[in-house]
Amino acid sequence: MKSHAHTNRHAGITDIVFIIGTALACVLLDQGTKYLTRISLALHEPVSLIPGILSLTSTRNTGAAFGMFKGQQASIIILSLAALGLLGYWCMHELAREGRRHPLLFMISCGLIMGGIIGNLIDRVMLGYVTDMIDVGVWPVFNVADMCLSCGVGGLIIAVLGEGGESKRKQGEHFVVRNIRNSAVLTRKAKACIGALCQGRGLMFSRRKRDFGLVFIFDCEKYVPLHMWFVGYPIDVIFLSSEKEVVEMMESFRPFSYYRPKKKARYIIELPDGTVAKTQTSEGDKLSF
């Protein structure tokens, strides 16, 4: 356990360093291009790079990204600091909460967003405006920090919604769930549920079936509260560790109920009511799927 905890702390520190490094690279690239723009380009005089598609046009933006909210520097600075603080806290919390290696896209996205916020924040505090230079004609002139922000937000959405995508199981894949101790088959129609969208929806509005199984797969062991909103029939719920050992069970979990588990689980299986009793499954059993 001590060695595992040390490995977890090391993984968390490595991820934090990676995010900070990504943010720093973004800030350096952003500030470098802005400095070159200010000393090399005349204000509002475009320099064509790809005729009709891409130009460099030096502008001074007193608003937010892509020219929005012009003339509200004080408010934007306060909001930027608040966003940076909240994002930093959330990222550090996510990294430290389970002490695991996070998907590369998650770490890059956090770094890009932080770097983008800091890059434009430096301009607002030091100059009173933000230097923009990338002109694609059909969109307000923007800069490297704006690009980092946009890519970071998009990447973070994909990373969060796709959580669990590194699991060996694929979304929607069907398989058999069996109790290793007594060889009892819990279901032959288990379906993998990976990612926030699938896991948030669960069995909502689904019809009752004689044989079904919904296997929620997470990247690590965690506490996952259960709710039965909009599910019109009782189910059995089994909580499994990373080794697929049963650590907790809920039999005949009723509609419109809520339950906060006492133990962490990496897998949660929802099954027809009565499955646990019929297969004589108990805590400590190991399942295969």
Active-site annotation, residues: 132, 146
Look up tokens 């101790």; give the residue.
Answer: 181
- Please measure the distance between the N-terminal and C-terminal CA atoms of the chain and give it in whole angstroms: 26
Query: Across the strands, what pairs with 59?
Result: 132
Between CA 216 and CA 238 the distance in angstroms is: 10
Closest listed residue to residue 102, CA positions, set 251, 218, 206:
218
Between CA 101 and CA 267 the distance in angstroms is: 18
8 A C-beta contact, residue 155 and residue 108: yes
CA angle in degrees (0–180, nearest 5) for 273-275-281:
135
CA angle in degrees (0–180, nearest 5) for 28-154-164:
115
How many Cα neighbours within 13 Å face the side chain of 268?
29
Between CA 237 and CA 246 the distance in angstroms is: 10
Structural tokens at position 7: 């490995």
E strand or H helix at 144: helix 144-161
Query: Across the strands, what pairs with 227?
Result: 258
Structural tokens at position 65: 């990204």
Between CA 99 and CA 221 the distance in angstroms is: 11
Between CA 197 and CA 40 the distance in angstroms is: 48
